[in-house]
Structure formats: structure tokens, C-alpha cells
Amino acid sequence: MVIFSCYRAGGSETLPGLKRYNKHIFSMAKEGEMRRIPMCALFIALLAWQSAQAVSYPLPPYGSRLVGQNQTVTVAPGNRLPLEAFAAQYGQGLSNMLEANPGVDVWLPRPGTQMIVPQQLILPDTVREGIVVNVAEMRLYYYPPGGSSVEVFPIGIGQAGRETPRNWVTSVQRKQEGPTWTPTANTRREYAKEGKVLPAFVPAGPDNPMGQYAIYIGRLYAIHGTNANFGIGLRVSQGCIRLRDADIKYLFDNVAPGTRVQLIDQPVKYTTEPDGSRWIEVHEPLSRNRAEFDSGRKVPLPVTAEMRTFMDDPAVSYSKAQGALERRSGMPVNLGH
């Protein structure tokens, strides 16, 4: 038996198609199968997913926050791999790939399709220390102490109604190899309403939805692995932050107790670079409530006074700025000098 107990219907906030995918993938997970992916393709895809790793970027000097370059990949003839395999291969989440490539087939990208891998990004506008989680873009940034790089990981976050905290500063309390899981009474009641029995206690092992490693932050939340090969870049958990196996193993081995952890919610990031160029990166914001999520309409973007000042700068192209805000590609757009 494989328990997918943290995969409750919730979905991603990136596109209506991804919302439908999130709900469909959860319904299959509860039945413990993925029939639509041929078994031979699934085996190959599993190998790709297990080898997922962070994308490492050299840290730019202070005053600069634009890093990396996008890649373009072409789906090979005879492709039998789902989009998740491509996302994992290039260190992305499903939301990142679908924002950059709207309309791509999530289950089986067509051979010959050119896809953008969104590996260029703007670093969050906060201190470069410890772990920074931007829930809006579903990425975790790790700044190694005394290092000259930043490691960026795609993540899965809490479903609508069981939110991952959005504005919180805490620290790593402890780490656990082979974590156990005790579902809350409320979670067990929700399953019971569907006629399903959820164990009161799940021991460490392959049936545990927390995977092989857990990093506990604060008293109620954890950054942990998973026992499933999907859900990264989706709103799927009970509020915790989940990573692919290789990614959580890296963090587990390198992050010490006491490390600063900051959770932020920045769907819009922007920067003026040292050369005078202005850039903006826009993601689909998370829904603010369940009704907003279920509506299927675009969630309004938050607009701050600082953002208005940035957008009103004469050096910023109005048409490019409006296009970026409408498109919400999750990739930096050059607005001018």
C-alpha cells in the first residue's frame, strides 16, 4: 500500500489547465495508479525524476538580482515522457514549466514541441541568508553560509484551505532521517467522509508521504521529501513544503539546525540592474480563498507603492510592462533602460 495522504484536491494557481491536472493527478493518486502513462515510459521517467537536482547560480553582486539564462529544448521523436520528467531533468516544477509554456500537453508533450526551460530569474527582494521560500513561484532558495552561490529548488506547497505560511521568519529546529507522520484528527475526518481510512500513525518507510528526510521549521511545519513522483510545482500538501528526493537529501546534508528560514509571497519581482536595465518577473498569484481558487478566474496581482514607482519610471516601456503583467510567464522580461 502506498499512502498519498498529503495529496488533497487543491491544484496549482498557474493556469486553469494546471488546476485540472492537479485535481486529476490527485484522484489517480488516491487510487494508487497512473494508468495513462505507459509502464515502460513511467520507469524511464522515474529514473529522470530521481536524478533531479537544484539549479545553482553564482551570486551576483549586491545591487543586482538577475541571474541565469533560459534554455530551449525540443521534445524528441517518439517521446513517451510526461512533462514532469522534463521539469525534473531541468530542476523545475510543473507550475514553472506551464507558466513558461502555456498549452503544452502535461501528460505527453508532442514530439517536435519546443519548450522554454525558465532558468533565468530574479532573486527575491530579501536578505540572502539561509533558506528563502517564495510560495508564489513555488521555489526554495538556499544561500550556503559564506558561499558565493544560491541553490534554487522547485517545491510543492499547501493546498487551498491548508496553506503554507506566506509571510513568516523562523528557523530550522531539527532534522530527521526516516520521519514518521501522524495525520491530524481533521485530516482523518476528511478522509472518513470519503469512505477512506487513514492510519492514525504512518511509520518511516516507502509508504510515508514525507519521504526519507524532514527538516522541521517552527513547531508545525516541515520541509520534506515525498513518496510520489509528482506534485512538485503544485498545491498538494497539508501545508508543509515538499521536494524531490535528491533535493531534500541535499538540503538535509547541508542545512544546519538554527539556519534562518523566511517564507514570502512575491508573485511579482522586479529589479533595476547596475547597467540601468529594468526587469520584471510575474507569476500567477495564489488564490486568497477557496472560492477564488474554484472560480477559474485570474487572481488579481498585488500592487504596492514601490511597484507603482518602478512601473512609472520613464525608462520602463508601458506596453512591455502591461504585457508582462497580463501574460504572467514566470520569466524575467526586459522593460527597457
Residue 80 half-sphere exposure, CB side, CA atoms within 13 Å? 12
- Known catalytic membership, residue 337: no
Element (H, E) at 278: strand 278-282
Strand-pairing partners, residue 264, are 134
Distances (CA, A) of 302 to 55, 87, 282, 283: 28, 28, 11, 11
Q: If we measure between CA atoms, which residue out of 60, 72, 2, 64 comes closest to residue 31?
A: 2
Whether residue 240 lies in the annotated active site: yes
Write the single-letter amino acid at 51. S
C-alpha cell at 163: 496553506
From the list 40, 224, 283, 337, the catalytic residue is: 224
> Three-state secondary structure along 20-60?
HHHHHHHHHHHCCCCCCCCHHHHHHHHHHHHCCCCEEEECC
Judge whether 71 and 116 are in contact, CB under 8 Å: yes
Residue of 40, 240, 283, 337 marked active site: 240
Positions annotated as catalytic residues are 224, 240
